Amino acid sequence: MNIKPTDLFAALSHDTRLRCLLLLHAFDELCVCELTGAIGASQPHMSRHLAQLREARLVSDRREGLWIYYCLNPDLPDWVAAVLDETAQGVFGMQPFSRDLATMAASPDQPVAARCA
């Protein structure tokens, strides 16, 4: 898989996309409703940014019934994974990232398909 650095950094440059990537980095797989709940964005806003991340091949998705689950693309090049690792470590404790993580950690069971209905 070949991801251009300009595509990665363009994706990271928007707050919503960065927050989504960091949540997916921490929680492996999340549905759209979990991401909207953690970040506090509308579903259309979140879906638009997730589509951009999917087009950049940074995330993968799968459908299960009515829900779409997202995860970091398992085929990310090592350098992209390293950038995400360093970014997650670098923003640990900063807002809004720590609030997003706390919101997700406070959620009851994962996955939450039953709560998303």
DSSP letter string over 53-83? HHHTTSEEEEEETTEEEEEE-TT--HHHHHH
45-63 mean pLDDT:
96
> What pLDDT is recorded for position 110?
53
Omega before residue 5 within 30° of 0, cis: no
Query: Please, which residues have CB within 8 angstroms of residue 54's CB and are 6 or more apart in sequence?
Result: 60, 61, 70
CATH of domain 5-116: 1.10.10.10
- The domain ranges of the chain are 5-116
pTM: 0.90
Which stretches of the chain are assigned E, i.e. beta strand? 29-31, 59-64, 67-72
- Pair 96, 34: CB distance under 8 Å: no
Q: Taking 60 as the threshold, does the pLDDT of residue 114 lie above it?
A: no
Q: What is the pLDDT of residues 12-38, one digit of tens each?
A: 999 999 999 999 999 999 999 999 999
Q: Taking 70 as the threshold, does the pLDDT of residue 111 lie above it?
A: no
> What pLDDT is recorded for position 112?
46
44-48 mean pLDDT:
95
> What pLDDT is recorded for position 117?
52
81-88 mean pLDDT:
97
The amino acid at residue 113 is: A
The amino acid at residue 62 is: R
Q: Taking 50 as the threshold, does the pLDDT of residue 113 lie above it?
A: no
